[in-house]
Amino acid sequence: MSATLGIWLAAFLTLGLFSWMYKENPWFRLVEHVYVGAALGHLAVTGYQNVLDIAWKPATQQGKYLMWVPLFMGVLLFSRWSRKYMWVSRSSIGFLVGTLAAVSMTNAIRAQLLSQVAATMMPLDSINNIIFFAVTASATVYFIFTLQQKWAAPIMDLGKYGMMIAFGATFGNTVMSRISLFTGRLQFLLFEWLKLGN
């Protein structure tokens, strides 16, 4: 029974969002606002559960007293809700951003910079490899904004065309993606809600 009610509720919400395609209307606005509330609620609940599992229970039940430090720093974050005491959260945010920046930086150098440059150093013994190297090198030259030389212009042009091909392929895939997302909702409406087939 609750599943049937749930499916009808889900269908109501789904069609409400799609109704915007005809024109803006109160049904769509209502569902849009429900989405905001649900999304924020879910974020808060998952954060709460995470804190419970990784920090609170270990600190209070398993003797891991070091967990009180991040628990304290985490509570300080909520001072952002007050204009007067917002400064209290700065150290916690600094820690969060600093550690994440360190992780991202070290990983990007290895996995994206060095590995990718190494992979570009390929033997130029086939047409495909020559094209690959030429497009990569010229597109990389395009990003050197501090070096504006006339001789580099044709190379940068080749790079631009290479990137246009890449962005075009991205668009082609995005079309597939968007059609997929809509098809997924159609499958729900047709087969789970209206029960029109398998």
Q: Which of residues 80-139 bind other proteins (CB under 8 A)?
A: 80-81, 83-87, 90-113, 115-120, 128, 131-136, 139
d(CA 132, CA 6): 52
CB atoms within 10 A of CB 88: 15
Residue with tokens 């190494």: 118
Both tokens of 171, joined, read 């668009």
Count of residues that bind other proteins according to CB under 8 A: 135
d(CA 74, CA 51): 9
Binding mask 7-46 for other proteins (x = CB under 8 A): x-xxx-xx--xx-xxx------xxxxxxxxxxxxxxxxxx
Both tokens of 77, joined, read 């974050």
CA distances from 119 to 104, 112, 164 (A): 21, 10, 22
Q: Which of 2, 24, 123, 195 binds other proteins (CB under 8 A)?
A: 2
Does the footprint of other proteins cover residue 153 (CB under 8 A)?
A: no
d(CA 196, CA 198): 7
Q: How far is the CB of 192 from other proteins (least distance, A)?
A: 10
Q: Which of 25, 50, 149, 153 binds other proteins (CB under 8 A)?
A: 50
Does the footprint of other proteins cover residue 149 (CB under 8 A)?
A: no
Q: How far is the CB of 149 from other proteins (least distance, A)?
A: 18
Q: How far is the CB of 154 from other proteins (least distance, A)?
A: 14
Does the footprint of other proteins cover residue 185 (CB under 8 A)?
A: yes
